[in-house]
Each structure stands twice: as C-alpha cells, then as structure tokens.
Chains A and B, each alone.
Chain A
C-alpha cells in the first residue's frame, strides 16, 4: 500500500456560528490525484487553507506528508505548494521575476525558474510583465510557481476556473503529467468531467461534510442511473432504464424482432451523483 500523503481526522473549522468544515475524515495516498468536489461555500477552500497551514482548525487533526499541519506547520511548508483559485501573481513583475522571487523564498536555485517556464511553455514570455499575460498564461505561471520547490503534495484550488477550453485542456494535461511523475495532487473543482478525467478518487463535500468518497467509477455505479440508448430501424430513439424490468422486456422484444439498429449503455455521470447526493446540480 502507498504511504499516506494527507490524512484528515474529524477536521472542523467554525467561523462564529457557521461550521465551514464539519468533521471531515479522509486520507490521500502518495501519488494519488484526489478530488474534493462541492458547491461554492461547501468548505473546499477552507479545507485547503487548513491543510496548507493558512488557517487553524477548530477541531480535529490533519497530517500532510506525515507531519501535523498545525504543530509542524513550518516543516510542512517546504513539502507542499498550491495553485490558487484566483490569479495571484505580482503583476508588476515579469514572469521570470515572479518565479525567481519564490525560488529565493524556498532557497532553490534560480535556474529552477527557467526550467519551469520551459515546462509550462512560457519561456518566450519570461520577460513580459505578468499583468500582460492572458488568463491561461497566468494559470500556467501559477502552476510553474507551485512547482518551484518540487512539492510532495500539490493543492490545486479550481485550477481551470474561468479558462477557455484550450487553456483548460493545457492545464489538465499539466496536472496529468505531474500525477504521472508521482506528485500527490489534491484538487478542488466545479467541473465534474475534469474530476472524472483526472482523479483517482473523489470526495463530495456538502455543507462542510463529506457525503460520499470513492473512485469516480464506483460512485457513478452506486449513485448514477444505469441507462441505455436504443436506436430502432424506424429511426426512433429510446432511453431505457436498465434497472426497470419493463424497459428490459422492451429491449428483449425489439432484439427478437430484429428492430434494434444500435444500442449504447450509458453509465451515470459524476454530475448525476452530485445531484443525487446534494439535491441540486453544481
């Protein structure tokens, strides 16, 4: 079994009367891409803030890379990094200056900045001020920044939010590449397809609580509806529920009568799972 990269036990964060995170427990194995999904305000960002040492939990404990995220905060920091929901670059600095500043903070070689610009395809824009970058370029620069210290655990908070489809695809490809190279990735996203593509396991967070946690396939099988789309020779299409005995009988009749032109099984989507669990779509 892989060693644990993140372990969370009964973690809570209260802001006055509001329980932003309400007793969540889960673990993430090293090298895993773990997705935390939920509505705005479900507690995703607060969870990341606690795991990255930027907020102190009200209750419960969290371990990152085997160290207590609160009491060992200063030892955890060099082992992690994060990509944030909103672009948060030094606008008046060039791309390369942004990276070199963080290289200095982390005590790594300045040449690491150039390597990362190559990795994210921004070498040609290295000397341009960050404020002149497009949204996609800013996101890629943030990813480069998050890799400056070669983190063991990388937290990514909505890394493709607001990006055009091409930029989003580039970012997803980068995430997939990092995962292949063994970085543990803790991802929050609104995009169910993104989670389905990238994550080995996902947890659904609703009102600060985890309401489901498993692999995307298992969740879809457990909570999604098993359906099939049938196209008959008369060019009519029918959506049938595989769990419904009457629909199953219909399919059998059409098959015997050689009426069926095509038949496609359709498993549920993570969106369906989320609606089933949270009562409303994302």
Chain B
C-alpha cells in the first residue's frame, strides 16, 4: 500500500464525485429530507423560557439557571440595566419572567446576610417563572453551603412497548432526523461510492489507474472518499437540524462503524455492476432494505420482524446512534449492536478482499 497513491486517488475522487449530478443527488436528498422532518415535527421536550435579569452578569446564580436549563429548557437570558426595565419587559410580554439580583448577591448569600432577590412574573404566573424560582432556590442553597434537604429522583415510565418509549423519549423530530442521517450514510455508501468505482471501470480509466496503482490502493482511495463524505454530511446535517449528541463517543463510534460497514457493501456492489447507470437504477431498489430498518428501529413491530431486522446493520447502527444522541441507554444490550456491526464490517471487507484477490489473478 502506497499512501501517496491512495491520497492522490482520494483527492481526485473527492473533487470529481461532486461534479457528478448523481452523486450530488445522493448527498443532498437526505439533507433536504432531514430539514423537512426538522420543520414538520415540533421539539416536544423543549420548553422555551425568555428571562430578563438585572444585577451582576456573572453571578453564580445565573450560571445555576443555565445549568438547570440543560437540554430540556430552551433558555434565552437577557441582561438589563435595572428592575424598571426588567418589569417593563414582563409587562410588554417581551420576556416570560424577570429577576433582580443585588450587586453583591453571591457574597451576601455566602456570608448569610439574607439578600433579597426579586422575581417578576405576569399576574397569571408562568411555567418559566416557576422554573426560575426553583432554579434560584437550588442555587441559593448551594451558595450558602446547605446540602439539599432531599434528593428527588425522576423516573420516567412509558405506557406501551419499549420501542414506543424510544420514540417518545427521543421525540419524533430527533428520531426521524436521526433515521435520515442513517439514510444518508446508506445513500453515500450504496449509491455514491459504487458509482465512483463503477464509472472507473465503465470509462476504462481504471485501466490507466492500474498501470501505476493496484486494486487495493484504488479501493482504499474510494472507501476514504465515502468516509469523508459521510463525516462531512453528518456534521452538516446535525448542524442544520440542531441535533446535538449527548454521548459523543458512542454516537461517533456507531456512525463510524455503520459507515464503514455500508461502504464495504457499496464497494462490493460497485464490483457487480458494469455501468454507473445500472448502479443508479439498482441501488435505488437496494436502498429500501438498507434504509428501512433504521426508520423502524424505535417503532413497535411484530416480534418476528424485529428478530429479522436485528440482522441489518442500519437497524443496529440506528440503535447505537440513538443511545449516543440521547446520552443514555434507550436501547439495552447495545453490545449486540456493536457485534452485528463488526460482523458486517468483517463480512463486507472479507468478501471484498476475496474479490480483489480473484480479480488480481
């Protein structure tokens, strides 16, 4: 394996592939679909709280408020000059609530001087004001050195099946956007990668390439193109849809393993077809069983179908990526998912190595 040759093939294909409208379509379609899902499904779990505050901007209480908001409350904090302005903003409904901190609030609490913090809320009350009240109380206790009187453990239970729970827990928007991420990995692997490989053979540029490179270098160059497109496209899609994985290592590992296994399958497919047109036609058919399992991974399905779907890499990849996105184990026995994905990697690249050795002979 000669790295400069692999790198040259990689650079050439990265540029050449995006000039091919078929490859562009395979990259853009899932992104458009993800944006669509993103706008169709509301973010059920996110409560928006617009809060104004007066007083020290870098108070520990303000940081407590931000920490408490986390992923469940979309907190929009606005610093104002004084209590009059804060009150005005509540009256005009520009904010949901406001609070006023004395100038030396943090030190006053620490020294037990019992400072007064004013919470301004609409006459009818608001959930945002309740959230601020609870968060400030926690912050005050922490600053004064008082341990929590009790710990409240939140346990969420879901009526119905576990899969419905996954969809409910993650929310339709995040679930379907994530499934579209898997769809994009599938389209890159099963459509874009085979097209760039088959086109080399169809246009006989492969003959010229093989005068200097060997099959393994060509294949590795193409696989790297698929991986690069996958990485860039996933990043773009997450940014456009504001999806932030809470367990990044798990998410990256799941996405990477799935992309590697699918690209292996795509390279195998590329060897089966004679023309890029055939790839374009037949890959569209093959995409269904590849993409479908990702969309149903978190939905209630009959046991027999569930068992069958467990053999699909996209089904298992979706499970790992879901856990990575949620930051917790929404799917149990995740080692099975890793095992299945690794098995697909071994099968795809083993078959590819076998085909290459036959071709070279």
Q: How far is the CA of A101 from the CA of B20 in the complex (A)?
A: 18
Whether A105 and B16, one on each chain, are in contact in the complex, defined by CB atoms closer than 8 angstroms, is no
Whether, in the assembled complex, A182 has its beta carbon less than 8 Å from a beta carbon of chain B, the answer is no
A117 to chain B, nearest CB (A): 17
What size tier do the contact residues of chain B reach?
20 to 34
Q: How far is the CA of A223 from the CA of B9 in the complex (A)?
A: 50
Whether B361 and A89, one on each chain, are in contact in the complex, defined by CB atoms closer than 8 angstroms, is no
Whether, in the assembled complex, B296 has its beta carbon less than 8 Å from a beta carbon of chain A, the answer is no
Tell whether A106 pairs with B16 under 8 Å between CB atoms, given A84-B207, A88-B205, A101-B8.
no
B88 to chain A, nearest CB (A): 61
Q: With a CB–CB cut-off of 8 A, which chain B residues contact A104? A: 4, 8
Whether, in the assembled complex, A90 has its beta carbon less than 8 Å from a beta carbon of chain B, the answer is yes
Q: How far is the CA of A54 from the CA of B207 in the complex (A)?
A: 8
Stretch at the interface among A74-82, A168-176, A251-259: A74-82
Q: With a CB–CB cut-off of 8 A, which chain A residues contact B205? A: 88-90
Whether, in the assembled complex, B114 has its beta carbon less than 8 Å from a beta carbon of chain A, the answer is no
B40 to chain A, nearest CB (A): 36
Whether A105 and B213, one on each chain, are in contact in the complex, defined by CB atoms closer than 8 angstroms, is yes
Whether, in the assembled complex, A56 has its beta carbon less than 8 Å from a beta carbon of chain B, the answer is yes
Most chain A beta-carbon neighbours within 10 Å: one of B12, B203, B209, B361: B12
Whether A107 and B203, one on each chain, are in contact in the complex, defined by CB atoms closer than 8 angstroms, is no
Chain A proximity mask over B191-212: 1 for CB below 8 Å, otherwise 0 = 0000000000001110111111
Q: How far is the CA of A77 from the CA of B207 in the complex (A)?
A: 12
Whether, in the assembled complex, A52 has its beta carbon less than 8 Å from a beta carbon of chain B, the answer is yes
Whether B16 and A82, one on each chain, are in contact in the complex, defined by CB atoms closer than 8 angstroms, is no
Whether A107 and B4, one on each chain, are in contact in the complex, defined by CB atoms closer than 8 angstroms, is yes
Whether B207 and A92, one on each chain, are in contact in the complex, defined by CB atoms closer than 8 angstroms, is no
Whether, in the assembled complex, B214 has its beta carbon less than 8 Å from a beta carbon of chain A, the answer is yes
Q: How far is the CA of A78 from the CA of B204 in the complex (A)?
A: 20
Q: With a CB–CB cut-off of 8 A, which chain B residues contact A54? A: 207, 210-211
Q: How far is the CA of A77 from the CA of B213 in the complex (A)?
A: 8
Whether A92 and B211, one on each chain, are in contact in the complex, defined by CB atoms closer than 8 angstroms, is no
Interface residues of A in 57-92 (CB under 8 A from B): 74, 77-78, 80-82, 84, 86, 88-92
Most chain A beta-carbon neighbours within 10 Å: one of B9, B204, B207, B360: B207
Q: How far is the CA of A154 from the CA of B213 in the complex (A)?
A: 17
Whether B207 and A93, one on each chain, are in contact in the complex, defined by CB atoms closer than 8 angstroms, is no
Whether, in the assembled complex, B19 has its beta carbon less than 8 Å from a beta carbon of chain A, the answer is yes
Tell whether A81 pairs with B211 under 8 Å between CB atoms, given A93-B16, A104-B8.
yes
Whether, in the assembled complex, A102 has its beta carbon less than 8 Å from a beta carbon of chain B, the answer is yes
Q: How far is the CA of A86 from the CA of B206 in the complex (A)?
A: 12
Q: How far is the CA of A81 from the CA of B207 in the complex (A)?
A: 11
Q: With a CB–CB cut-off of 8 A, which chain A residues contact B8? A: 101, 104-105
Whether A101 and B211, one on each chain, are in contact in the complex, defined by CB atoms closer than 8 angstroms, is no
Q: With a CB–CB cut-off of 8 A, which chain B residues contact A90? A: 12, 16, 205
Q: With a CB–CB cut-off of 8 A, which chain A residues contact B142? A: none
Nearest residue in A to B210 (C-beta to C-beta)?
Answer: A54
What size tier do the contact residues of chain A reach?
20 to 34
Whether A56 and B361, one on each chain, are in contact in the complex, defined by CB atoms closer than 8 angstroms, is yes
Interface residues of B in 88-120 (CB under 8 A from A): none
B82 to chain A, nearest CB (A): 64
Whether, in the assembled complex, A209 has its beta carbon less than 8 Å from a beta carbon of chain B, the answer is no
Whether B208 and A84, one on each chain, are in contact in the complex, defined by CB atoms closer than 8 angstroms, is yes
Partner of B204, one of A81, A88, A93, A106: A88
Whether B204 and A102, one on each chain, are in contact in the complex, defined by CB atoms closer than 8 angstroms, is no
Whether, in the assembled complex, A145 has its beta carbon less than 8 Å from a beta carbon of chain B, the answer is yes
Tell whether A88 pairs with B4 under 8 Å between CB atoms, given A77-B212, A105-B212, A106-B212.
no
Q: With a CB–CB cut-off of 8 A, which chain B residues contact A52? A: 211
Chain A proximity mask over B3-14: 1 for CB below 8 Å, otherwise 0 = 011001100100
Q: How far is the CA of A71 from the CA of B20 in the complex (A)?
A: 38
Q: With a CB–CB cut-off of 8 A, which chain A residues contact B20? A: 92
Whether B5 and A105, one on each chain, are in contact in the complex, defined by CB atoms closer than 8 angstroms, is yes
Q: How far is the CA of A101 from the CA of B9 in the complex (A)?
A: 8
Partner of A88, one of B5, B12, B19, B208: B208
Nearest residue in A to B212 (C-beta to C-beta)?
Answer: A105
Whether A102 and B208, one on each chain, are in contact in the complex, defined by CB atoms closer than 8 angstroms, is yes
Tell whether A145 pairs with B212 under 8 Å between CB atoms, given A92-B19, A92-B20, A105-B5.
no
3 closest A-B pairs by beta carbon, nearest first, are A88-B204, A104-B8, A92-B19
Question: Could you list some 19 contacts between A and B, CB below 8 A?
Answer: A52-B211, A53-B210, A53-B211, A56-B360, A56-B361, A78-B212, A80-B211, A84-B208, A88-B203, A88-B207, A88-B208, A90-B205, A92-B16, A92-B19, A93-B16, A104-B8, A105-B5, A105-B9, A105-B213
Given contacts A81-B211, A102-B212, 5 further A-B contacts (CB under 8 A): A86-B204, A88-B204, A88-B207, A92-B20, A149-B212
